[in-house]
Every structure is written in C-alpha cells, then in structure tokens.
Amino acid sequence: MRTTTMRKYWYLLIFPFLALVYFNVALVPGNTLFGTDYLGGGAYDGRKFVQDYIHSHGEFPMWNPYTNSSMVNNTTGDLLYPISVILYQFLPVQSVQVWSYFIHICLAGIFFYLFALRIGSKRWGAVFGGVAYMFTGQIVSLIYAGQDGKIIVSCLLPALLYFTDVYFDKQEWRWFIPISVVFAFMLLSSHVQMSFYSILIGGIYAVKKAINNKWWIGLVITLIIPIAGLCLAGVEYVPFLHHIPQSERFGGQWSTANTQSWSMPPSETIGLAFPKVFGLLENYHGENQFKLHTEYLGLIVCVFAIVGVFKYSKWFWLGLAVIGCLVSWGTHTPFGNLILIIPLYSKFRAVGMAFFVVSFAFCMLASFGFGVIKKVWLSVGLCILSFIDLWIIDKLFFHVVQPFDLWRYGSAEYATPLQFTNPYNKWFWFGSLLSLATSAILTLIFFWSKRSPDDSDCS
C-alpha cells in the first residue's frame, strides 16, 4: 500500500521536468522573456526601481518619482506576491518573471494531477490532463503579453479546487484555511478579475460537493473564504479599496461597452483544436482589433474530452465549460448582459479572459476520457505527443531576450530614502497589520483546532 502511494507521488516529477525542457535557456540568469505589457508597458521599469530601492534602503518605496505616483494607491503587480517577494531577494528583476512563470506552471500541473486523482481520474489520465493544462495556450501564450497576474491565477485554480475537495471530504471546518490562502495568493497577484472568476468556480464546485456529501454547514462556512482571503491580502487591498472611488471605472465614463470589451467571438472557440483558423499574432484576422494569445489546447485533448463526456458522463465539467464560454463570449450572447447583475461585475473589462475556465474543464474531461487507454506505453506516447503539439504552437509566443538596454529610469540608488506626503501610507500600514494578524489567527486555528470525536478522514 505504501509503495503504491509513493509511486503516485513519483509522477509529480514529470511536471517540473517538462517545464525545464520548455523554459531551458530562459532560466539562465540575465535572460528574460519578451512581454508587451512587461517590457513595453512599464512593468519591468517599475519593478526594477522597487528592487533597486529595497536593496539600497532596506524598505519598500511608497512613491515612484519617475511616474509621480504612489506605489500603494493601486495594485502593484507581483511586488507584494509572496513567491515573487522571495525571488526578488535572490534574482535580478529580469529573472524573477521567468522563474515565476516556471514555478507556477509547475504548480498548475502538480495540483491538477493531485486534484484529478482525488476525484477519480486514472493515474496516466491525471498526468495527461496536467500536462495539457500547464501548457495550454490560455496560460503559456500569455507570456507574450507579459500578463503574469493572469498566468498566476490560472495556475493556482487547480490548487483552489484541490483544497476545496479536501475540505468537503474531510468535513473539518479548519480546512477552509488553505482555500483562503490560495485565494489570497490569487489576489496578491494583482489580478482581481481572474481571482473573481476562480472563486466563482470554486463556489460552484463547493455547492456540488455539499450536495454530494450532504454537509451543508460546510457550505455555509465557505462564505468566510472570500473575507479571509481579502484580509490576508490586506497589505495590498486596503489602500487599493480606498483608491477605488478615484478610479475611472467608478466614474460616469465607464459603460457596459467598456465591461464587455474584448469579448471572445464564439467562432474563435474553434481555436481550442485548430489554432490558425483566425491567425496568430500579426496574422490575426478575427473580429477583435488584435490578439496576443491563443486558446489552443490540441485536437488530441479535445478528442479525449469528448470521450470523457459521453463515455464517463462527466456532465459537471461540461457544464463548467459552457459557463466559461458564455462569460467569455460577452455581448455575443444574452448571457453576457445577464451576468452584469452580479455586484461590481460591471467594473471589469476584457471578459474573454474567462476562457481559462473552459481550458481547465476540457483538460479535466480529457483526464477522465484518457481512461480508455490501457497500455502504459501508449499513455506515455500520447502525453509526449500532446506536449510536443502544444510546444510547437506555444513557442510562437515565447521569445528569450536580455532587457538591460530597456531600463529607462536610470539609477534608483538614492543617497537618502524618498520623503513625501502620501495619503495612502496609513492604509498601507493598516493593511500590513491586517495581513499579519489574519495570518497569525488562521495559523493558530488550523494547527490548534481540536477534532471532535465525530470527525472522520474521508480522503
């Protein structure tokens, strides 16, 4: 029994190995990956300034003199994201982005595999689905746009669902804490909209588990998760919430048209299996003005997803894919306007980004459909073939560069720390205390909570 369990975990090494093969020279110090928002949109400049300032003065800068703006009156990229905070201590700023991609894509495959096994997928099916999801175009092609927040949240979705499943199977209320931590990590990636989609999917899955396990009190407790996640991410979101009234999205000029901008044309859904029908990058000729990513998942994955639906009756995941499509299609269907009744949803934009939910659902269906393959050699071969298939398309969005000559601000090594008056400073420190206090309380609850005699481990 122990040997079988250990063998299950040996399979986890497949995912970092394939990620190493994929990233290879990009991980070499000094290299980074081209991203339009990252290098051209100022993200690289801002992060290099912060890293230089911290190394010079040992504190986080509250003000960016080059943009004449506060660092804490809005979201700050990955500067307060826990994994990135660690990476910034040891790596040059241009390497942090690459290693962040690498780590999170590994986590996407690992937690997809663990989650798929928990809910009944065969071992090689879980591997196949994990490989497909970690290299789906909806994740890795976003590297070209430098949209690390979207990538981080997409990669953490399997972890969110994994801990949700553990929570309902164990029926121990303290297990809402790991779910809250994952949600807080999503929020600290600074992509609120993608985090919203993820917690919504987590809520739908929680309802399914509550119905199956008949644990209704557990479903009620999950309502604490968004609050706990926000408190854990308070260091970023307390000052951000005080900035919201000054945002253009809360002014009269933000309309429904802004919210539904960049809706995904339904016809482009075919890109899941056939990526070049509407062209890629500069050859794109679809309905939107331009497109810097692909939804490509692979014909092989799509075929096994169909098998997963009709042979194994995995209708829940098909339903999730349909919901993801309807949200992504935006104004192209009546549902796009109906969803606007959700509070604050009208302040989002570019609803097509919700398509990562479709990619996840298809990979989950494919992991079950892969159960029809009984031969190990054929399973291995199909996993490798799917990886190569995705790699061929994904590499079009993957360009290793050296960004030293793109540093526009100059030296950030000031003789003395910057002095200024910033109305958001007090909210930054209050948010920091809220994050620390919440972390301490949740840690104590998780490790010190007593299990009642009726508790049972159903994992």
Is the pLDDT at 199 greater than 90? The verdict is yes
Tell me: pLDDT of 272 over 80.
yes
In single-letter form, the type of residue at position 47 comes to R
Tokens representing residue 417 in the block: 């720390």
Distance CA 433, CA 419 (A): 22
The predicted structure's pLDDT at residue 447? 85
What is the rounded distance in angstroms from the CA atom of residue 158 to the CA atom of residue 5?
A: 21
User: pTM higher than 0.85, yes or no?
Assistant: yes
Task: Report how far apart, in Å, the C-alpha atoms of 293 and of each of 306, 341, 365, 387, 423 are.
Answer: 24, 29, 23, 18, 38
Range with lowest mean pLDDT among 61-70, 144-153, 227-236: 61-70
pLDDT at 49 over 70: yes
Q: Which helix (H) or strand (E) holds 286?
A: none
Secondary structure (3-state) at 421: coil
Residues in the chain: 459
How high is the pLDDT of residue 351? 87
pLDDT in tens, 392-442: 988 888 877 765 545 444 444 433 444 444 556 677 778 889 999 999 999
Q: Which residue has the tokens 């644990």?
A: 215
Strands 69-70, 63-64: parallel, antiparallel or unpaired by DSSP? antiparallel
Q: Alpha-carbon distance 340 to 259, whole Å?
A: 9
Give the residue, 288 or 166, on which the prediction is more confident: 166
The more confident residue out of 166 and 410 is 166
pLDDT band at 150 (very low <50, low <70, confident <90, very high): very high
pLDDT of residue 426: 74
Band (pLDDT 50/70/90 cuts) for residue 244 is low
Q: Is the pLDDT of residue 273 over 50?
A: yes
pLDDT for residue 420: 47
pLDDT beyond 50 at 326: yes
Q: With 60 as the cut, is the pLDDT of residue 240 above it? A: yes
